[in-house]
Structure 1
């Protein structure tokens, strides 16, 4: 799983760097065919998204099959670990598939118009959206003995923490803080890249920079207002 995620991360970084180089070259007078490049980025991204959705659906069906009679496959302790890890894997598959499919659809809608590519990307996007919705209900199917809240419930975070034991709360809060820190670094690097892109190409990215800056401010304000002494 980790190896697969690393490969996908490298592909995404490579595509982003290639897109930046292609756009920059075109803006300064190069002969790079950005429309063709955009088209292939969109197609490849949609294919990768579809693969993640297929892998996710396979794991989804597998874990539900095991859950029906897990004693046929493993003991109770092993099953607790198995369903916990599989649930997280499936969530990763669904999120990656959804985001990549959205990016794949956005590229032809913004940069060029190619009906077959748009139809293909739209199909993958709809599939990823349906699968993402299904995965939000997976936790209640894997833990029917626990009164876990649904993501659509009001005050979902508070209810989830109350339904979790001390060990689970520690894991979740640690993971959330690491994610928060990584997100802040990512937004900051994104702002720097957009500034560099604007300076190199002459194409202003002020709106995107402002949006990312506001997101960084709001997320920090939310975090520190939540953890301050009340």
Structure 2
């Protein structure tokens, strides 16, 4: 097939994808604005400013989560389409780079969408209950779980020629490292160490912020501080136990 025709075909598909994505996003924003207006109107008589703030945070995080999940789904479908017959779109070296980067990009969309949807669901459950917002957040949360579950199996579809373990395998990490070459193992271990270090700093800063919040507002965050402290202890103990000489 003519490379120019392939390029034009890809551009048309990308344009249609962006157009559909925009329409879906506008639909979500319209629904969210309607929910915000109706819910705020019903909240008169209570602490309206606080209710509106929590409601706004919940709706905003739900919209962002929905957008990321939809974007991830489009990228997921696009990647599988290319993977079926990549020679129509690019050479082998370009495809190797494309599928590797797209797989990681889709994982980011899935994880962030899941976390944001969980936060948006927690707000109406804990602070200000609103049925319509709760249902809106719950639907996005369920979709994010389904999408995240599907993305965990994506790597096996992208690399059918390699003997990669299933995500449900109890020794998944060890088998994945064995199936990877030296360069891949170096990239993974470097990324994991940087992530571990960042997580420890994040937990420590989180504990300090919770202590400051408790002192300034008088609202005790002891339970959260204890939980974060336990997570920090366990993760550090696990890490240094794994790397010590056997």
TM-score normalized by the length of structure 2: 0.80
Q: CA RMSD in A?
A: 0.9
User: 2:184 matched to which residue of 1?
Assistant: 168
Q: Distance between the aligned counterparts of 2:58 and 2:168, measured in 1?
A: 32
Unmatched tracts of structure 2, length 5 or more: 1-46
Q: Distance in 2 between matches of 1:32 and 1:183?
A: 36
2:16 corresponds to which residue?
none
CA distance in 1, matches of 2:148, 2:105: 13
2:65 to 44, 49, 59: 49
Paired residues for 1:1-230 under 5 Å: 33-230=49-246
How much does 1:132 deviate? 0.3
Partner-residue secondary structure (3-state), 2:237: helix
Distance 2:216 2:62 in 1: 29
Q: Per-residue CA shift, 1:180-210, capped at 9, x if unaligned?
A: 0000000000000000000010000000000
Q: Which has the higher contact order (CA 8 A, sep 6+)?
A: 1
Q: Give the number of equivalent residue pairs.
A: 200
Deviation of the 1:164 alpha carbon: 0.2
Q: Which structure's CA Rg is the greater one?
A: 2
Return 5+ residue gaps in structure 1 as ranges: 1-30
State how far apart, in whole Å, the 2-side matches of 1:131 and 1:87 are. 13
For residues 19-47 of structure 1, what are the alpha-carbon distances to aligned partners after superposition, in whole Å with 9 as ceiling and x for unaligned?
xxxxxxxxxxxx88222100000000000
User: Which portions of structure 1, spanning 4 or more consecutive aligned residues, are displaced by more than 4 angstroms?
Assistant: none
Alpha-carbon distance in structure 2 between the residues aligned to 1:109 and 1:64 = 37
Distance 1:197 1:154 in 2: 40
Q: SS of 2:215's equivalent? A: helix
TM-score relative to the length of structure 1: 0.86
